[in-house]
Chain A
C-alpha cells in the first residue's frame, strides 16, 4: 500500500515523519545534556578531568547548606538571588506583555495597524542583546542622561547611585530584553478570542475590568503560560545581563557556572548545571500541570 497522508495517515507513517526532528533533538539536545550529567560525577584537579563516579561535586555544592546556625550557604543565597530576579522579571514582563497584547488585540481596530504596531515591537531585536544592555549604561550611569537631567531640573542635588549596577538596572534590563517573549504568545492566544464573547460579556453587564478577569485572562492562559516559561527559563540561567548591568556585583547561578568553567572546573560546573536544569524542569512541569498547554494550542 502506498503511503497516504492527512486523514488516512497511519501511526507508523507519522512516526517516520517525526524521525528527522527527533534525531536533531537527540544529537543537539539530549546527548549534550547526558554528557553534562555524566561529567558532573567526574573528579578534577587544577589541570585535568578524571572520569569517575563520585558525588563530591554535589556534596561541595551543598556544603554547609544544612548547617542552619551558619546562616544561608552560598548556593542557597545564590539561588535566592537568582529567583528574586526571575520573580521580578516575570511580574513586570507579564503585566507589561499582557497590557501590550491587550491593547494590540482589542483596542487597535484595523488589522493593518495591528501588524504595523506588532512589527514596531520587534524593532529592538534588530540589534544584539549585548548592545541593548550596554545602551542602558550611558542613560543610567552616575553622569548619565537621567541623573544629569534630574540635576539640571533641580530635582536632586546628588546623582542617584542605585540607577546603575544595582538590582534596579538588572531588573530593568531583563524586562526590556524579554517583554516581547511575553507579548508574542499572549497576543497569539488573545487574537483567537471571538470578539462576540466580549460583546456577550458587555451585554451581561460586565465592566472592562470584569471582562479582563472573567473572560480574557482565562482564555489567554495558554499564551500567558508559554510566555512565562520563555521568560523564566531564560532569566534563570542568565549571567550576561546580571554581569553587565549588575556591575559584576550580583550573584546568579548562571554566573557561578560561568566562573567555574573559566577555572576549568567542568565537573563542578556540570553539577551546578544539572541542579539548575532540574529545578527549572520542575518549575515548568508544575506550570504545565496548572494549564494544559497542549490541549489549548
Chain B
C-alpha cells in the first residue's frame, strides 16, 4: 500500500491555477522533497495534503484512505510550519503537548509524553522556557517534536531549514533524515534548495508552473534531467541547442584544451575548493566546465585566452524543450 497517493491534484484560486494535475505516490519510509522556485505550487501541494488548502480537483490518499474532504484535524498527517508557528504564550512542554491536550489527555500524562518527545530532539532541559527564549535551531526542534507527538502517518515540512544559518542547516538536515528513518514514516519536505533536496531525498519532485516537471531519485534527476527547466534548475548542466536538438552537457563533461581548433574564449575562472569552475564564451553562448585545478593550472591559461572547448557526444543528454 502507498503511504501517500496524490491523484490529479489541482488547486485554483479565482482565475489563477496554482497547482494543476499533480500526481505522485510515496512508499512508506521514503523521504520526498518537493523542489522548485517560489510560486511553483510546491507549498500549495503540501498544504493541500495537510488539509489547509481547498482542492479544486483530484484526490489525496493517506495510508490508503481518501482524506480529500477531511479537515486537518481528521487527517493522520502532521505539518511543520515554515516559521514553526510555535504558540508564543505556551511553554515548550505545553507547545509539544498541545495536540494531546486537545485530544483530552490529562495534564500529568500529556506532560510525560511531551517530555519523551522533547528528549528525542534533545531539548528536555528546556521544557519550561517560552519559544521566544530559544534559538532558531531549538525552536525548529520544538516544532518537530510538536508535529510528531500525534504519531502521524505522514509528516509534512514547509521549508523547515530556510530560517537557519548554513552550518545549522546542514546539521539539522542530517537530523531530519535520521528522524525519518527511525520513525519509518514518509516525510514530504518543501524546499527551493536543490542541494538540500539532493542530500535528503529518496524521491525528488521538481515542480514549476504548478506542474510536476520530473520525479525520481536525486541521481535520476541529475543524470537524466527531463527538460530544459529541470536541467537549469538542478544546476551543473549546460543546456545547448545542438544539431540533435536540445541537449544538456554536464559541467563535468565539458573539456577545455589549449591545443586544437580555438573555438572559445575564457571568461571567468572560479576556484571552488575541490575543483575550478571555468566559464567560456562559445558560439553556443557561455558554457561552464568543472575541471581539476592542477590539470587546468598546468595549461597556464588565464581570462581572455583563446582555447578549444569540446565534449564527447556520448555524454549529451537529450532534453524535451
| Residue contact B81 to A196, C-beta cutoff 8 Å | yes
Taking the nearest CB of chain A, how far is it from the CB of B143, in angstroms?
9
Partner of A205, one of B50, B73, B85, B86: B73
| Residue contact B52 to A202, C-beta cutoff 8 Å | yes
Interface check B72, CB cutoff 8 A: yes
Interface check A207, CB cutoff 8 A: yes
Interface-side segment among B33-41, B95-103, B209-217? B95-103
| Residue contact B85 to A202, C-beta cutoff 8 Å | no
Rounded to whole angstroms, the CA-CA distance of A210 and B98 in the bound complex is 11
Rounded to whole angstroms, the CA-CA distance of A201 and B72 in the bound complex is 10
| Residue contact A210 to B87, C-beta cutoff 8 Å | no
| Residue contact A210 to B102, C-beta cutoff 8 Å | yes
Rounded to whole angstroms, the CA-CA distance of A214 and B99 in the bound complex is 11
Which residues of A have CB within 8 Å of B147? 203
Residue in A closest to B78 when the chains form the complex, CB atoms: A203
| Residue contact B99 to A219, C-beta cutoff 8 Å | no
Where chain B touches its partner, the secondary structure class is loop
Which residues of A have CB within 8 Å of B267? none
| Residue contact A204 to B99, C-beta cutoff 8 Å | yes
Which residues of B have CB within 8 Å of A201? 87, 98, 102
| Residue contact B99 to A199, C-beta cutoff 8 Å | no
Rounded to whole angstroms, the CA-CA distance of A205 and B74 in the bound complex is 7
| Residue contact B85 to A194, C-beta cutoff 8 Å | yes
Interface 1/0s, chain B 80-96, versus A by CB < 8 A? 01110111110000000
Rounded to whole angstroms, the CA-CA distance of A274 and B71 in the bound complex is 57
Interface residues of A in 185-230 (CB under 8 A from B): 194, 196-197, 199-207, 210, 214-215, 218-219
Rounded to whole angstroms, the CA-CA distance of A210 and B102 in the bound complex is 7
Taking the nearest CB of chain A, how far is it from the CB of B3, in angstroms?
18
Which residues of A have CB within 8 Å of B52? 199, 202-203
Rounded to whole angstroms, the CA-CA distance of A123 and B313 in the bound complex is 76
If A204-B98, A206-B102 touch, whether A199 touches B89 (CB-CB below 8 Å) is no
Interface check B62, CB cutoff 8 A: no
Taking the nearest CB of chain A, how far is it from the CB of B133, in angstroms?
14
Rounded to whole angstroms, the CA-CA distance of A204 and B81 in the bound complex is 12
| Residue contact A196 to B83, C-beta cutoff 8 Å | yes
Interface check B79, CB cutoff 8 A: yes
Rounded to whole angstroms, the CA-CA distance of A222 and B316 in the bound complex is 65
Partner of B89, one of A203, A204, A218: A218
Residue in A closest to B152 when the chains form the complex, CB atoms: A203
| Residue contact B81 to A205, C-beta cutoff 8 Å | no
If A199-B52, A201-B98 touch, whether A206 touches B85 (CB-CB below 8 Å) is no
| Residue contact B87 to A200, C-beta cutoff 8 Å | yes
Which residues of A have CB within 8 Å of B150? 204-205
Taking the nearest CB of chain A, how far is it from the CB of B157, in angstroms?
12
| Residue contact A202 to B73, C-beta cutoff 8 Å | yes
| Residue contact A202 to B89, C-beta cutoff 8 Å | no
Which residues of A have CB within 8 Å of B87? 197, 200-201, 215
Rounded to whole angstroms, the CA-CA distance of A26 and B88 in the bound complex is 38
Taking the nearest CB of chain B, how far is it from the CB of A277, in angstroms?
33
Rounded to whole angstroms, the CA-CA distance of A200 and B88 in the bound complex is 12
| Residue contact A196 to B88, C-beta cutoff 8 Å | no
Partner of A203, one of B50, B101, B103: B50
Rounded to whole angstroms, the CA-CA distance of A201 and B79 in the bound complex is 10
Residue in A closest to B52 when the chains form the complex, CB atoms: A199
| Residue contact A200 to B102, C-beta cutoff 8 Å | no
Rounded to whole angstroms, the CA-CA distance of A196 and B72 in the bound complex is 13
| Residue contact A204 to B102, C-beta cutoff 8 Å | yes
| Residue contact A205 to B89, C-beta cutoff 8 Å | no
Taking the nearest CB of chain B, how far is it from the CB of A188, in angstroms?
17
Which residues of B have CB within 8 Å of A205? 72-73, 99, 102-103, 150
Interface residues of A in 163-204 (CB under 8 A from B): 194, 196-197, 199-204
Rounded to whole angstroms, the CA-CA distance of A206 and B51 in the bound complex is 14
Taking the nearest CB of chain A, how far is it from the CB of B298, in angstroms?
54
Which residues of A have CB within 8 Å of B72? 199, 202-203, 205
**Which residues of A are interface residues toward B (Cβ below 8 A)?**
194, 196-197, 199-207, 210, 214-215, 218-219
**Which residues of B are interface residues toward A (Cβ below 8 A)?**
50-52, 71-73, 78-79, 81-83, 85-89, 98-99, 101-103, 146-147, 150
Given contacts A197-B88, A201-B87, A218-B89, 16 further A-B contacts (CB under 8 A): A196-B85, A199-B79, A199-B85, A204-B73, A204-B146, A204-B150, A205-B99, A205-B102, A205-B150, A206-B73, A207-B73, A214-B101, A214-B102, A215-B87, A219-B88, A219-B89
